Structure formats: structure tokens, C-alpha cells
Amino acid sequence: MGKTGAIIPRRGHEWIRFAGFTLVELVIVLVVAAILVLAITPLMKVNLNAYVTVQKGKKDLDMARIGFGRMVSEMKRIQNANDVLILGANQVQFEPAFYRNGDWYSHVIQYTYDPAAQIITRNVMTGDMLEYPLVKDVSAFTITYLDRNGTAVTTSKDIWRIRLNMTVGTGSGAVTYTQDIHPKIIPYVNG
């Protein structure tokens, strides 16, 4: 900044010059700093919003993958077609058996898709009914029940395979999960 400053008399005839900033220089620096902050803030906000959106999307996809995997693994435990209690395009209820501590157990599990809320809930009925959201942000979910020829069926006695299709998200960020499930003891024939 130049050699500006105040000249202050000292004892006797000695004068001391104090270098510093004038008020005008200080105001100019503050105005330039404010302009820089105003110019940079929108850029930082865009980057921060993009980061938050990507992180939320990653979390949603991880939760969708985990929830879909749980549905598949539980439906693979269906012992026979009669274990499927309710058939629906957006809902299935079944009673899988499982082996634990040397004994066989079973409980009723129901998956229901609510298109308005875009959520799949999991209900477990083991005396008390426990209901909780399994997958959120689901834009489409269908369950198709197929016979040996791959034709859609509406009765549990004809089920050979169960096909799950779940789409999470919308637009270019949407991810679709598809799985054909062949329940455990339903006879499986290639061909």
C-alpha cells in the first residue's frame, strides 16, 4: 500500500511515522473481498448440492440392493407352491420353512408395494405382526408367477418360478433389479 501513515510528535523534536492502512484502502479491500465471496458462493453451492445428491443416490441404491437381496433369499426358502398364500402383481405372502437349532420353524412373510408412497414394506407375522419399510424410492415393482412354460399363472398350485422386477429411482438415474426365483423344493426340470 504506499508509505502512508500518521506522523505523531514525540517528546521533544523527534517525529515518528506510523505506517498503516487508510480507511479508504480498508474499504476497497472489503468491497473486493465481498465481490469475490458473492462470485464463488453459487459455484460452491452447486458443487455441494451435487455431492449431497450423489451420496443420497448411492445410499438409496445400496439399500435397494440389500432389500431386494433379502426378498430373493427369503423367497428361495419357499418349500412348495402351496406355501404361497397370496398372489398379486404388487404383493406376495408366503410361509417359508427354515431350520434353526435342530428344529424346523415357519412364519408368514408378506411383501407389499405401495405405488403412491413408492415403498415396499415387509410384514412378518410371528404372533405379533411386524411391519417396516424394506425399500424406498421404488418407482415400479412387479411380481410375476410363471409355470413350467414361462406363462403367467394366477393360482399358487401352478407356480414354477417367481419373477421379481424392481425399479428404484426415476429418469436417467433409475436402476432396475430383476431376479427369477425357483423356490427350493418345487421340482426343477431343465428344458
Our measurement of the distance from residue 159's CA atom to the centroid of its chain's CA atoms, rounded to an integer in Å, reads: 31
Assessment of whether the complete model's pTM goes beyond 0.85: no
Question: Is 149 among the domain residues?
Answer: yes
Report if residue 95 sits inside a domain: yes
Contact 142, 169 (CB under 8 A): no
Taking the C-alpha atoms of residue 128 and residue 107, their distance in angstroms, rounded to an integer, is: 11
| Residue 110 resides in a domain | yes
Domain-embedded: residue 154: yes
Which residue matches cell numbers 435342530?
Answer: 102
Nearest to 138 by CA among 177, 103, 160, 169: 169
3-class DSSP assignment, residue 56: helix
Query: Does residue 107 fall inside a structural domain?
Result: yes
Q: Which residues of 156-190 are buried (b: 16+ CB within 10 A; e: fewer)?
A: beebbbbebebbbbeeeeeeebeeebebeebeeee
**Does residue 166 lie in a domain region?**
yes
The per-residue pLDDT string of the chain (191 residues; one tens digit each, 9 = 90 and over) reads: 445 555 565 666 666 666 677 889 899 999 999 999 999 988 888 888 888 888 888 888 898 999 999 999 888 888 877 788 888 889 998 888 776 777 777 788 999 999 999 999 999 876 667 788 899 889 999 999 998 898 998 888 888 889 999 999 888 878 999 999 887 655 544 54
* Residues 135/156, Cβ–Cβ less than 8 Å: no
Range of the domain at 113: 50-181
In which residue are the cell numbers 410361509 written? 95
Residue 13 lies in a domain: no
Could you tell me if residue 101 is inside a domain? yes
Number of structural domains (the chain) is 1
